[in-house]
Amino acid sequence: MIYIKRLKYKLKWGAIIGSLVNVGLLGFSIQIFFMILYRINGLGSLMASFWNYDEETGYYFIINNIYNNGQGIKLLWLALIIDIVVLIFSLLWLCKKNTKRKLLIIEHSSLQKMNFTFDEKELGDYADKRLLINQYKTLNNIEMSTEEKVSLAITEIENKIPKILNYVDKGYQIGYAGIANIPVTFMLGYELGDENKKLYFHKRRDNPTDDNFHLLKDEPRQLTFKSHVTQNDLTKSGKILLLIQLTQPIKEADLQGVLEDNDYIIKYEIPQTINYDVVDSSRQINDYTNRILSDIAEIQKNTNIIQIKICVAASGAFIFALGTKFSKTQNKDTVIFHYQNDTYPWGINVTKKIPQCT
């Protein structure tokens, strides 16, 4: 395999040599197979003319001498059986080396113009296709009102879902790589659900020379994911307010327009650890998102809870995964908000698929 990394080339010599040896052995086995059949029964005359069998030299010379031996026929049948076994194992090896899991990578952007690149070694086990969802022009269109932009962004997500699910029907696993507005990222995950296992890609911020999205591995992390709860008055109508601060702090002053009088507030964080790369494994994402959904499941059993509101500062992979965990049938009406200039000016009600402006 040849892969490109920052205009430098590297050859995987072990894989190349292994493939060449196997292909050579496969070709040799096929040739011997037809030579033996031709010598025993005269079958495969087309191959005989193609390979130009020579009774004086080469492999056919040896096969011909074996045939002329007293036990020649039996020896050739034995050699044919051995050759078939070698042929089958060579074919199985080639199939195993070249059979890869089908993967559809969603390349999602809206905050800026993006060029998506990946580490080809990490994709070595996959036969991948790419699906681009570029919402940069939509959400940065100065000629449209906020409500119009968000409505159009919702429609764009809805229009992509059937195409993605069509790939799922064809056996593709879904992977997500993106840097996009939080509400549209969450909605995309919400619409796809968690029925099929997803792969997550993350672009690290701690290495300025590395511009690739990297596949997050299923590895444990020794970080404590804590929650702080402010309960509401159960006798009055109220909402759950989820505050998830992983990449940036969420300050109370930022919540004007989102925070209401009788909110049941749950704030999640990794104490004393806030940075863009704090969540860097798929197991970590699944553990944290499962914890959040478990907490919500208990609280929304209270009859006074009418809605779930979400303000989150996290990586695109985490937000997408969180969206997949929310259920259209089990969770209350859910709204997720977009952060901009110390406020949360708009969001998306993913349950009703409508804009929510504050």
3-class DSSP assignment, residue 332: coil
CA 157, 218, 268: angle at the middle one, nearest 5? 65
Tell me: pLDDT of 132 over 60: yes
Phi first, then psi: what are they for 58, rounded to 5°? 80, -170
User: CA separation (Å) from 140 to 66, 179, 262?
Assistant: 79, 14, 34
DSSP state at residue 118: B
Q: Sign of the CA dihedral 149, 154, 155, 161?
A: positive
**R_g of the chain computed on alpha carbons:** 30
Q: Which residues pair with 202 in a beta bridge?
A: 214
Q: Global pTM? A: 0.79
**Confidence at residue 44, expressed as pLDDT on a 0 to 100 scale:** 82
User: How confident is the model over 257-292, as pLDDT tens digits?
Assistant: 899 999 999 999 999 899 999 999 999 999 999 999
Q: Tokens 């908000």 label which residue?
A: 337
In one letter, which amino acid is 275?
A: N
**Confidence at residue 17, expressed as pLDDT on a 0 to 100 scale:** 64
CA-to-CA distance for 111 and 106, rounded, in angstroms?
A: 16
Q: Sign of the CA dihedral 34, 40, 45, 51?
A: positive
